[in-house]
Structure 1
Amino acid sequence: MQYKGVLRKMQTEIGRPIQYYMVFETDFLNVNQILDKELEINFIKHQCLSCGQDRPIFRQGFCKTCFYEIPAAGDWIMRPELSTAHLDQEDRDLEYEKKVQLQPHIVYLANSSTIKVGVTRKTQVPTRWIDQGAHEAIEIVEVPNRYLAGITEVALKDHVGDKTNWRKMLTNEVVDEDLVTWRNKLKPYIPAEAQEYFIASNSETHLDFPVLQYPSKVRSLNLDKTPNYRGRLKGIKGQYLIFEDNTVFNVRGSEGYYVSLSIH
């Protein structure tokens, strides 16, 4: 069985375990169904997710030209505190920025390797937590725009981390935490503008990933260096495929790579 197309972030469906899908132009693959089977990945070419041309991928699935021009790759994507649509100020495309920035956003705590604070649109819960490989998470603030979420995240970063240690996440070196206690402990540090949006009465969400075997150490697959790879799929966590030989493949980190996938 063979699939061919440009890699994009795997789509997910909440469940026990979470269901993963690789979606191509004319087909899709439920990745859970190929656990414990041999998967062969062959890199064919680059295909920028914006212009569609065969140019080296720079970041986020885009070629360098598109990355610095399109509104979907503005600095406010990675740094929400730089959002300006609420002020009616344009970065690259005000209409696009209003559509994305001026909607409910969640500031959350997630535990994937250690506790981290993060921001996502409300519509992306729990997808964002799944993508980060968090086994537990909780919303702490729901605000009406991305800017307020961003300044809240910046304030809380002084008291809790904001990065995921992907190696610890993939080897499952994680410790359960009481996120309700953490939420309440962090409340005093939420900026005054966002205090009224604090969520005081929710509970943790627990996530169950489809993993048969965690790697003892991780070796990352880079398609530019290793364009052809074959291994037995043992798990899916975050946006990573985990193979029996300790190789891990970041599907989201390889967006814009056109590949063929063969299942043996």
Structure 2
Amino acid sequence: MTVLSGNIKKMSVDVNADNLAQYQLNVGDTAINMNDVIGKRISVNYQATINCVHCGRKTKKSFNQGYCYPCLTKLAQCDICIIKPEKCHYHQGTCREPSWGEANCLQSHFVYLSNTGNAKVGITRFVTDGVSSRWIDQGASQAIPILRVQNRLMSGLVEIALKAQIADKTNWRKMLQGEAEPIDLKALKDTLLKNAAPQLNELKNQFGIQSIADIESDIINIRYPVDVYPTKIKSINLDKELGFEGQLQGIKGQYLLLDQDRVINIRKYSGYHLDIDIQ
């Protein structure tokens, strides 16, 4: 039996040589390889304690998946433009933390298409060895970067131009109900960019020809460590249930899939202090 206790954060993700998603959960100062836990019984108890993932302050309520209210109101990474990048206001001189904005927002970003049960458009900062951790966090079975843009503001403006034709959100219930049917993302890319050409050209005229660059890339396929998918999803709410116990049957996105069709979004509980027993 392995017994761990501490504040958690969202699972760290990667892929192996076969593009199988790899998960690691940090509990306090200890890291657990969650792929190795699949098939085992786990027991989780919530100690009714939350600490901010940024400053460590004890907080009665978690905001933006792990932050206390003071950090929510002062950190650039908690500003509305992180959720809606088209609202980036660095150029107006009103960024909460200009140095953070320069390091994270005034860098090139990628616009991508993915398959999370349905096709969607999204943005990501990093594509490492062909794979973005954002795709794994969203449970994408396929993904392809289609454009490289000069900064986060531009990524949001391009996303707006494309999402008139395609969703920009993941249907998490559909994503968790099984393996998605393959989508020809290359053909979809061609259609979307053709239809959005007037809006994209207008952005290039406004921000410069090099502000948006087309990318030629192959479709990336990602697999997930799932033995059994749920049929009727029952979401676990730690704030109400204060814990759960059962067999871990798989992991997809940031969700643990348990027996009896139960699922829990680990990312939602970043900063929560949990006691975890693995048998």
> So what's the TM-score if we normalise by structure 1?
0.94
Query: For the Cα contact (< 8 Å) 1:88–1:94, is it kept in 2?
Result: no
Task: Name 2:82's counterpart in structure 1.
Answer: 77
Identify the match of residue 171 of structure 1 among 170, 177, 191. Answer: 177
Deviations 1:8-63 (A, max 9, x none): 11111212321100123421000010111001111111111123222111222112
Instruction: Check if 1:228 corresponds to 2:243.
Output: yes
Give the letter aligned to residue 67 of structure 2.
F
Matches within 5 A, 1:1-264: 1-15=2-16, 16=18, 17-44=20-47, 45-55=49-59, 56-85=61-90, 87=91, 89-123=93-127, 125-172=131-178, 174-188=180-194, 189=196, 191-192=200-201, 193=203, 197-264=212-279
SS of residue in 1 equivalent to 2:168: coil
Q: CA deviation at 1:3?
A: 1.5
Conserved in 1, the CA contact under 8 Å of 2:148 and 2:215?
no
- Verify the 8 A CA contact 1:90 1:97 in the aligned structure 2: no
What letter is aligned with 1:199? Answer: D
Unaligned runs of 5+ in 1: none
Cα shift at 1:173: 6.0
What one-letter code is carried by the residue in structure 1 that aligns with 2:231? Answer: S
Q: What one-letter code is carried by the residue in structure 2 that aligns with 1:231?
A: G
CA contact (8 A) 1:187 1:198 kept: no
| Aligned 8 A contact 1:210 1:236 in 2 | yes
Greater shift in the superposed pair: 109-118 or 62-71: 62-71
Contact 1:7-1:255 at 8 Å conserved across structures: yes
My pick for the range that moved more, 184-193 or 91-100, is: 184-193
Which digits, 9 at most, give the CA deviation of each residue in 1:83-118, with x for residues without a partner? 233x26232111111111011101001110211111
Decide whether the 8 Å contact of 1:112 with 1:164 is kept in 2: yes
C-alpha separation in 2, matches of 1:71 and 1:104: 18
Instruction: Give 3-state SS (helix, strand or coil) of 1:133's partner.
Output: coil
Gaps of 5+ in 2: none
Give the TM-score, by structure 2 length.
0.89
**What is the alpha-carbon distance in structure 2 between the residues aligned to residue 185 and residue 134 of structure 1?**
20
Q: Distance in 1 between matches of 2:105 and 2:76?
A: 12
Preserved CA contact (<8 Å) 2:8 2:28: no
Verify the 8 A CA contact 1:139 1:199 in the aligned structure 2: no
- Confirm or deny: 8 A CA contact 1:7 1:259 kept in the other structure: yes
> Deviations for 1:135-184, whole angstroms, at most 9, x for unmatched residues?
00110111121111110001111000011110000012632110000111
Contact 2:11 2:25 in 1 (8 A): yes
Q: CA separation in 2, counterparts of 1:130 and 1:76?
A: 22
How many residue pairs were aligned?
Answer: 263
Contact preservation (8 Å) 2:65, 2:270: yes
Provide the C-alpha distance between the structure 2 equivalents of 1:182 and 1:200, rounded to a whole number of angstroms.
14
What amino acid sits opposite 2:71 in the alignment? C
Task: Report % sequence identity.
Answer: 34
